[in-house]
Homo-oligomer: A and B are copies of this chain.
């Protein structure tokens, strides 16, 4: 089915409330394109990411590794941090998409889910694309249930 090789099936799109088919298409194309920007000589595991802001802007990122493995950063964190530095506030991110070279699609690691938690609504959809552009999605709240967020710390100040 041609729709699937373009990164989403018709029924997936229907489920991702709030995103139009063309917005999903834009996210799929930009996260897959971002895979080509990964610096991953150690894992050879490319990850591309893109997010859509409420103002219509798309921000892209990719994983950037380091000889000291823990010093590396994931695609999702590069992308969200770039958006924040450009002025995105809590709630400005409508959706985020991630693409890898495996199938089924890889999900964001726990560290990135936590990073997203700081800036995104729990209902925000996270789209995940496999090596062929086929996708699945979950909301952030589904990926990080009973999460530890800013209100735990900031309420005590």
Contact = CB atoms under 8 A, between A and B. Distances in A.
Interface of A: 34, 37, 39, 41-43, 45, 60-62, 64-74, 77-78, 80-82, 84-87, 102, 106-115, 117-118, 138, 142-150, 152-154, 156
A107 B148 contact: yes
What does DSSP make chain A's interface, helix, strand, loop or mixed? mixed
Contact of A78 (B34, B82, B150): B82
A146 B153 contact: no
B66 A115 contact: yes
Contact of A73 (B73, B142, B143): B73
A82 B82 contact: yes
How often does this chain occur in the complex, in copies?
4
B106 A110 contact: no
Q: Which 8 A-B pairs have the closest CB atoms?
A: A110-B114, A68-B109, A110-B110, A111-B111, A110-B113, A69-B69, A78-B81, A64-B81
Contact of A107 (B64, B118, B143, B147): B147
Contact of A114 (B43, B68, B77): B68
A82 B41 CA distance: 17
Nearest to A86: B37
Contacts of A106: 148, 152
Contact of A148 (B87, B108, B114, B148): B108
